Amino acid sequence: MLSRAQMQSIAAGALSLEERWAFPGSTRRPCDAETLANWYEALNGAMPQRLHLAGQEGTDPADLLFEIDPAGIDPLPAWVVALNSALCDLGSSAERRVVAPPGSPSLSPEPFEELLWPLARTLADDWTAEQKRLLSEVARFQARHALLRRLARQTERSLGVVFANYRASHTEAGAYGRFIALMRQGGFGQYLLAYPVAARAIMRTVDNWHSALQEMIERLARDQSALKRLTGTSAIFPIRDIDFELSDPHDGERSVARLTLAAGKSVHYKPRPIEAEHVLASVARKFEDFDPARFSLPCPAMIARPDCGWVETITQTDLPEDVPPSLYFRRFGHWLGLMHVLQGGDIHPDNVVACGAHPHIVDAEVLLQGVLSENNFFIDAARDPALRALSYSTIHTGMLPSFAVKEDGQTTDQSGWYLPQANDLNRLRQRWAEINSDDMHLADETGPRATHHLPTIGGRQVGAREHAADIVVGLREILEASLDLRDPVAVELDRLMASGTIATRFVFRDTQVYGAMLDRLADPPAQRSGLARSIRLETLARVLKSPKTGSVVPALLRSELTALERGDVPLFRTFVASGEILSRRQVIVTNAFGPTGVQWVKTRLAALAPASIAREADIVSSAYMATHDKSPAPPRDSGGSANFRELAVPEMERLTTLLSRTALQDDGDALNWLAIQPVGTEGRTHVAPLDTSLYDGLAGIALALAVSADVTRSRMAATLCEGSLKTIAHKLSAGDLAEVGPGYGEGVGGVLAASAQIASLFPNMIARQVIDQIATALERGQELETWDVEDLYGGIAGLILGLGAVEPVLGRARTAVLMKRAFKRLKLLLARPQSDTTGRAWGSGMAHGAGGIAAAQAMLQSFGVLGPHENLPESGESGAPASTDDEKPARATSWCHGAGGLALDTSILQRAAGCGPDHLCCGEAGRLDSRLALGDDVEPLRREAAGMVSAAQGSVGYRFYLRGPDTLKPGLFTGHAGIIYLLARLHDPDRYDSILPRMTLTRAPRPKKEIA
């Protein structure tokens, strides 16, 4: 039993950040410096907005971080008193282990269940007579076991730390049993003193469990007549069994459950309104009535109540023998198109079930999504045609594959949509090994992904790769039908919205973000103090870094923080007609959207046209047809009989046409692309607009289109190039140059280099204006003093290389002034001690290593900024890359890390023919470009390039990280633009410079010519 002082200590330690602010100054105690530093780090620049959000604008953060004197906790909170009472019963409880009643399904053991099960039995009161009448003994046991699972999730890691410490000093056999006995006889109280946040979480979870279970039972009794009609049975009670926690926890840890009724039929209980599913079913019937021979879009039968929903259980079954898989995937394409039309989202594999010949969407709560009027995406879309197109894109349905690119260049499906390969269907997670024993420990293991969205034949899953074309056919069919159903669908939506009470879920952030946050909150350090827990949550405040904070985003953030503090995944709902956003049935924002969800859908239907349908088909085919084989690519021959002269120009024309298909333009004024792009630090990929970069962005595309226009005389290529440059100019003028960065791969250095080459080919384009725009911004702004990366790819060395390229446009004097400022910054960065840098070891390569610094040094020397015998400060290793026999050829020859960038060893480049991917950065195109720059005879290089082109045309396309017929991979360094660029270089080596900087290269100016 805990003393009053101990209970006060637990209550004080569990207080959140904002709860502490309500205590008077007399109860406050200074906080340590580390905690203060952690808060600054967590906010990461959002401090002023976050303080404004908390109503503490202008307050010194040090005054807002403090501990509370436990003596100031008076009276004691009810939850800590109830917990103390349960601790008194814990030691005397005769129950030691989980004993399931006869007929119960088998359940996996929970960590420390010998301790937590008696606690759950103590905290969960005896069943009422009504509960016993409605729930069988098995169902009641499952309900209590669900509470045990929740308690285990709240405490397993911190209890694991306590047990590990105990085990370190108790090495004899039977230690686990003695540990449990010790915990039951007072040790658990000491644990709660050390982890007060866990103590509060235990009692919160128990309270939520009680209220959610009682709420469900009351709704069962209320809706039993409707349930009889839904299931076609008269035997509802007692409920045989219940499968809890089939969704994220919302609104007091409530989640979806599957109930098996007395007659054996099952139904899903959703503790939220299900109007969205009703809307989807109504619109789906319009398409079925329009063309019943083509469209079959069955939806689960349902009962929609104002506060909850009961939905028919759909289970996975084999395809009928007379139904080919192609028909199933065509119907999947129908659903994909319909969710796109209705601005649906969050449709992941868990929300689709393959039942016979049909895919069934079993959870469509995210429908008719509006776009926040204060969302930066919405604001930027007014200037960027690609962002605007993305607003209307199938990517937002969640029904397209997502890939992760590994370090070896191979990819794996992260979404589960793509292919049932063993490597793709398993995901890494931590689980207890040797659970509840002396050797209990956390270990990584792989677990299967959900596959019930895939059709089966004899229990064997059929993947989407072989049927990607069928998905695209289905998508086209539903979108083409939408052209004829524009008015009927709009009328039906108006009818459904007439009451003004239809509400659907609004997704402010990816729910995976919330899951990750809740996972972090269960770590032991976050359970030692409510203050530490709150500081971890402050990372969400980074969304406030935008100066356009307004009122909508702060309100959503406040609601997020509140929900996560109570252990919920935040759930927002919106009244579709009015644009209000609700949390826990309370309106928290009014007039939240630019266009509301219904307005958005009507706009989409009105704008639907053959061109937009073709664009969506391109996006979907790219996503589903991209291959990601993990087997090493076999070496290619040297070209054989392939004729470069016959292949090069037609291939450049073909690839230019391919690029043009996904280019999005507004009256020739601005242009961008949608493409499969690497996104984020984990290398994940999805369809996204291009940025301004040279690497795989607009600058690289513009350069490839310029050389294509120069070789093929294509006015289309010239127009697309000009549009790309205009978009770059718009982005640079509208955005913050500091955020673009200085680098050559990603940053203004690469934009300058590309613009310089374009200006030399086409002086009348706006490339010169882009160069002047960047130079003027650098001259007037302070970006150079804020950039803190030194390398070539993303840092100041890359800016120096870019400045060197634009001397013919800016003139030597103006260029030299900027060069000197860049040199001053680079010298300062290179002189930093290692502890002040990123900590990454420097290699010898160009992109991220000493080679890039050396190239910048050579450029500085050529401008006289450095003397011919002066050197920049050394930073890490330098020298040539190793060329050992066991080194991967792609690594040894690549531009970014190997001899290709340093341009030192042509023998390595020759030996590695055909071993890597095809792209410019780390692949065949880059290797051939390097050999050309080193002076190799052009004819053998042309033969190798011809072999690469022939192989790509005869298979599934070029060997990129993601490849396939017409895959949307337009980038210069890792996509089709790089192939165009290489072919132009080999077509006329004396006219086109290498865009890849190398330590040894200098070129005389090329003659300029105008397009005809």
Given a contact cutoff of 8 angstroms between Cβ atoms, the answer to whether 595 and 555 are in contact is: no
Tell me the pLDDT tens digit for each residue of 355-402.
Answer: 999 999 999 999 988 877 765 545 555 556 666 666 668 888 889 887
Beta bridge partners of 270: 309
Q: Length of the chain in residues, anyone?
A: 1012
Query: What DSSP character marks residue 836?
Result: G
**Structure token digits, residue 141:** 């046991």
Residue with tokens 């992760």: 404
**Structure token digits, residue 40:** 């600054």
Q: 642-987: what fold?
A: Glycosyltransferase (1.50.10)
In this predicted structure, the answer to whether residue 222 has a pLDDT above a threshold of 70 is yes
Q: Tell me which residue of 150, 165, 85, 168 sits closest to 113, measured CA to CA.
A: 150
Which pLDDT score is estimated for 878? 40
In this predicted structure, the answer to whether residue 132 has a pLDDT above a threshold of 50 is yes
Three-class SS of residue 612?
A: helix
Rounded CA separation 425/461 (Å):
11
- As to burial, measured by CB atoms within 10 angstroms (0-12 exposed, 13-18 middle, 19+ buried), residue 35 is middle
pTM of the entire predicted model: 0.81
Beta bridge partners of 413: 403
Q: Tell me which residue of 109, 616, 584 sits closest to 391, measured CA to CA.
A: 616
Estimate the crossing angle of helix 748-761 against helix 715-734, to 10 degrees: 150
- Cα 651 → chain centroid: 34
Residues of the chain above pLDDT 70, percent: 82
Residues of the chain above pLDDT 90, percent: 45
Rounded CA separation 962/413 (Å):
11
Three-class SS of residue 180?
A: helix
- Percent of the chain as helix, strand, coil, to the nearest 5: 50, 10, 40
For the chain, give the longest Cα–Cα distance.
94
Which pLDDT score is estimated for 632? 46
For residue 511, what is the enclosing H or E element? helix 511-521
In this predicted structure, the answer to whether residue 489 has a pLDDT above a threshold of 80 is yes
Q: What does 421-454 look like in DSSP terms, one character per residue?
A: -TTTSEEEEEEEESTTSTT-EEEEEEEEPP-TTS
Tell me the pLDDT tens digit for each residue of 959-997.
Answer: 876 655 556 688 899 889 999 999 999 999 999 989 888
Q: Tell me which residue of 482, 496, 453, 598 sits closest to 281, measured CA to CA.
A: 496
Tell me the pLDDT tens digit for each residue of 72-87.
Answer: 999 999 999 999 988 8
Q: Tell me which residue of 227, 312, 315, 269 sits closest to 143, measured CA to CA.
A: 269
What's at 12, amino acid-wise? A
The arithmetic mean of pLDDT across residues 292-319, rounded, is 95
Q: Look at 311 and 731; give whichever has higher pLDDT.
A: 311
- With a CB cutoff of 8 Å and minimum separation 6, the contacts of 103 are 138
Given a contact cutoff of 8 angstroms between Cβ atoms, the answer to whether 543 and 553 are in contact is: yes
Given a contact cutoff of 8 angstroms between Cβ atoms, the answer to whether 346 and 336 are in contact is: no
| 3-state SS string for 314-365 | CCCECCCCCCCHHHHHHHHHHHHHHHHHCCCCCCCHHHEEEECCEEEECCCC
For residue 290, what is the enclosing H or E element? helix 275-290
For residue 499, what is the enclosing H or E element? none
- With a CB cutoff of 8 Å and minimum separation 6, the contacts of 110 are 98, 116, 117, 148, 149, 152
Three-class SS of residue 545?
A: helix
Count helices and strands in the chain by DSSP H and E runs: 41, 22
Given a contact cutoff of 8 angstroms between Cβ atoms, the answer to whether 390 and 687 are in contact is: yes
Q: Are strands 403-405 and 411-413 parallel, antiparallel or unpaired?
A: antiparallel
Task: Return residue ranges of the chain for CATH 1.50.10.10.
Answer: 642-987
Instruction: Say which range, 210-219, 849-858, 872-881, 899-908, has the weakest mean pLDDT.
Output: 872-881
Q: What strands lie across the sheet with 684-689, from one edge to the other?
A: 411-413, 403-405, 684-689, 670-679, 663-666
Rounded CA separation 98/926 (Å):
63
Tell me the pLDDT tens digit for each residue of 425-479.
Answer: 445 567 899 999 999 998 877 665 667 888 988 888 888 878 888 999 999 999 9
| 3-state SS string for 806-831 | CHHHHCHHHHHHHHHHHHHHHHHHHC
Given a contact cutoff of 8 angstroms between Cβ atoms, the answer to whether 706 and 762 are in contact is: yes
Q: Which of the four pLDDT bands, split at 50, 70 and 90, describes residue 877?
A: very low
Rounded CA separation 968/918 (Å):
15
Q: How many CB atoms lie within 10 A of CB 759?
A: 24
| 3-state SS string for 943-1005 | HHHHHHHHHHHCCCCCCCCCECCCCCCCCCCCCHHHHHHHHHHHHCCCCCCCCCCCCCCCCCC
Three-class SS of residue 988?
A: coil
Q: Which of the four pLDDT bands, split at 50, 70 and 90, describes residue 221?
A: very high
**813-824 exposure pattern, b = at least 16 Cβ within 10 A, e = fewer:** ebbbebbebbbe
Tell me the pLDDT tens digit for each residue of 659-683.
Answer: 887 777 665 566 776 666 555 444 4
Given a contact cutoff of 8 angstroms between Cβ atoms, the answer to whether 801 and 753 are in contact is: yes
Given a contact cutoff of 8 angstroms between Cβ atoms, the answer to whether 285 and 244 are in contact is: no
Which pLDDT score is estimated for 1007? 43
- Cα 391 → chain centroid: 17
Given a contact cutoff of 8 angstroms between Cβ atoms, the answer to whether 65 and 31 are in contact is: yes
Q: Tell me which residue of 746, 768, 649 sits closest to 707, measured CA to CA.
A: 649
Three-class SS of residue 904?
A: coil
Mean pLDDT of the chain: 83
Which pLDDT score is estimated for 262? 94
Which of 32-41, 137-146, 606-615 has the largest mean confidence?
137-146
Given a contact cutoff of 8 angstroms between Cβ atoms, the answer to whether 943 and 642 are in contact is: yes
Which pLDDT score is estimated for 465? 76
Compute the C-alpha angle 641/644/647, nearest 5°.
Answer: 100
Rounded CA separation 773/754 (Å):
14
**CA–CA distance from 254 to each of 124, 246, 571, 584 (Å)?**
17, 10, 11, 12
Dihedral sign computed on CA atoms, order 527, 528, 534, 540: negative
Q: Tell me which residue of 569, 438, 590 sits closest to 515, measured CA to CA.
A: 569
What's at 229, amino acid-wise? R
For residue 605, what is the enclosing H or E element? helix 597-607
Rounded CA separation 87/2 (Å):
8
Which pLDDT score is estimated for 295? 97
What are the DSSP E strand ranges found in 213-317?
A: 241-243, 257-260, 266-270, 302-304, 309-312
- Cα 79 → chain centroid: 38
- As to burial, measured by CB atoms within 10 angstroms (0-12 exposed, 13-18 middle, 19+ buried), residue 61 is middle
**Structure token digits, residue 543:** 């969304």
- Residue 312 main-chain phi, psi, to 5 deg: -55, 135
Given a contact cutoff of 8 angstroms between Cβ atoms, the answer to whether 902 and 933 are in contact is: no
Tell me the pLDDT tens digit for each residue of 509-557.
Answer: 888 888 888 988 999 999 999 999 998 888 888 776 554 456 788 888 8
Q: Tell me which residue of 72, 91, 94 sits closest to 25, measured CA to CA.
A: 72
Count how many Cα atoms sit within 13 Å of the Cα of residue 832 in the half-sphere of its side chain: 15
